[in-house]
Amino acid sequence: MARVIYFVGLFLGVCNGLDFILNRENPVSATARNFCGILTCEEETNTSVSSKSERDLPGFNSISEMSVFKRDSTVYGNAKSKHKALIASITSQSPGLSSVANGRKIDGLLDTARGSLRVEMVKEEDCEAEFICQVRGLDIQGRQAVSTTNLVQQRNQANNQPLTCHRGMGNEVNKSYPHVVMTTDFTLQRQILCDTQTDGGGWTLIQQRINGAVFFNRDWQSYKEGFGKIEPYGEFWLGNEAVHLLTYVRPYELRVEIRSDNKDFVALYKTFKLENEANKYRIRLGKVTSSIDDGSRGLSYSNNAKFSTFDNDNDDSSGQCAVSYKGGWWYKNCEYSKLNAPWRDGKIPGAWYTTGSKYLHAVTTSMKIRPL
């Protein structure tokens, strides 16, 4: 498992294997009840290993120690101090912790399968500091392993605050937004395109194709980082790593919109997430409500599939689907949905199954995700 949970006002560095959460609040007074932030570091062992190939996946087989450190913010010349102060630690010998000191309330619990450290903070200097979560234990192959995640916090500026893309914004009667706006996502610390109106709004667009202006037959690194122009009438792929970070923050739903033969089609997936790069950005989908995906074809056919590009083949076919169809996608045996196929003759010839055994060739497509 690799997940980082992130809230408004923060910038994260990410490391596989850890949940590192900070819920930032507005302080009222320096009391234990009026804290300015809650920091939670969590780790679970990989208990789902079922095949030889999965033994090479990152993760812990057992956990022996979990610690949270605060980084010294002192700068010497152009270099930042590497000194770090231990805030809290739990080990297999001392698996429980509960204390209140130095403006922090700390609770921790550890067993061989799971560890959790929670720090409630009162001091603003804590809520604007850099923290490190470190976990030690044995990996799947029985070797000593260490995993760390860094958290750097940033104070929100009251003025010039960018628009937050959130569910329900299209239902707010006292605000008026354009249907699609560019804004900054706090988790990613980069620009996104937000659909503010569809079904209440709050959708982050992760793919958009309108006119074939952007080339989609790209390599693994390009699909990882994202490409194209993130703007209302731009074509782009947000990036597999960005989508992974967002969908491991909290549960998300996915909305796929296709226009074909002068008609609009929608597929709504109840849950959606991407695993990390080590797991080849495997797609996980929940139940679908759709007239173009019967739950076994369309994108549903790709459920649990790994992502493939022409230089990184992870499909189930004896050939290479991404080479044959010239676009990165969650291929299995090259069938059904292929919404990143090349643009040709004013449409995307990648097939999308519909009820009645009809295949669509999209004129425009978009893929949007929203927290549940």
What string of DSSP letters covers 74-112? Answer: -EETTEE---EEEEEEEESSS-EEEEEETTEEEEEEE-S
Measured CA to CA, the distance from residue 229 to residue 214 in angstroms comes to 8
**What does the pLDDT average to over 149-159?**
49
Residue predicted with more confidence, 76 or 241: 241
Whether the full predicted model's pTM is greater than 0.85, yes or no, is no
> According to the model, what pLDDT value does residue 118 have?
82
pLDDT beyond 50 at 27: no
Q: What percent of the chain has pLDDT over 70?
A: 80
Q: Residue 125: pLDDT band by 50, 70, 90 thresholds?
A: confident
* Across 153-172, average pLDDT: 63
Measured at the alpha carbon of residue 116, what is the angle toward residues 132 and 94, in degrees to the nearest 5?
95
Cα 67 to chain centroid distance, Å, stands at: 24
The mean pLDDT of 279-303, rounded to a whole number, is: 92
Question: What is the model's pLDDT at position 151?
Answer: 66
- Which range among 152-166, 190-204, 205-219 shows the weakest confidence by mean pLDDT? 152-166
Q: How confident is the model at residue 57 (pLDDT cuts 50, 70, 90)?
A: very low
User: Which amino acid is located at 74 in the chain?
Assistant: T
d(CA 328, CA 34): 48
What is the pLDDT at residue 352? 87
58-62, 83-87, 106-110, 254-258: which is most confident:
254-258
Given this model, what pLDDT does residue 286 score? 95
pLDDT at residue 187 greater than cutoff 70 = yes
- Indicate whether 4 pLDDT > 70: no
CA 141 and chain centroid, separation: 27
* Residue in the structure block whose two tokens are 């949940």: 19
Cβ atoms < 10 Å from Cβ of 157? 9
Residues forming a β-bridge with 274: 283
Average pLDDT over residues 196-211: 94
User: At residue 138, does pLDDT exceed 60?
Assistant: yes
Q: H helices within the chain, ranges in order?
A: 124-127, 220-225, 240-247, 321-325
Give backbone dihedrals phi and psi of 53, rounded to 5 degrees, phi first.
-65, -30
The residue length of the chain stands at: 372
Question: Residue 332: is its pLDDT beyond 80?
Answer: yes
What's 277's DSSP letter? G
Instruction: Tell me the pLDDT of the chain averaged across its residues.
Output: 80
* pLDDT over 50 (residue 309): yes
Residue 31 has pLDDT above 80, yes or no: no
pLDDT at 96 > cutoff 80 = yes
Nearest one of 145, 124, 123 to 135, comparing CA atoms: 145
Residue 74, pLDDT > 80, answer: no
Gyration radius of the chain over CA positions: 23
Phi-psi region of 363 (alpha: psi -120 to 50; beta: other; left: phi over 0): alpha
- pLDDT of res. 355: 73
- Distance, CA of 352 to CA of 260 (rounded, Å): 10
- pLDDT range class, residue 82, cuts 50, 70, 90: low
- Tell me what the mean pLDDT of segment 347-370 comes to: 87
C-alpha–C-alpha distance, residues 284 and 305, integer Å:
8
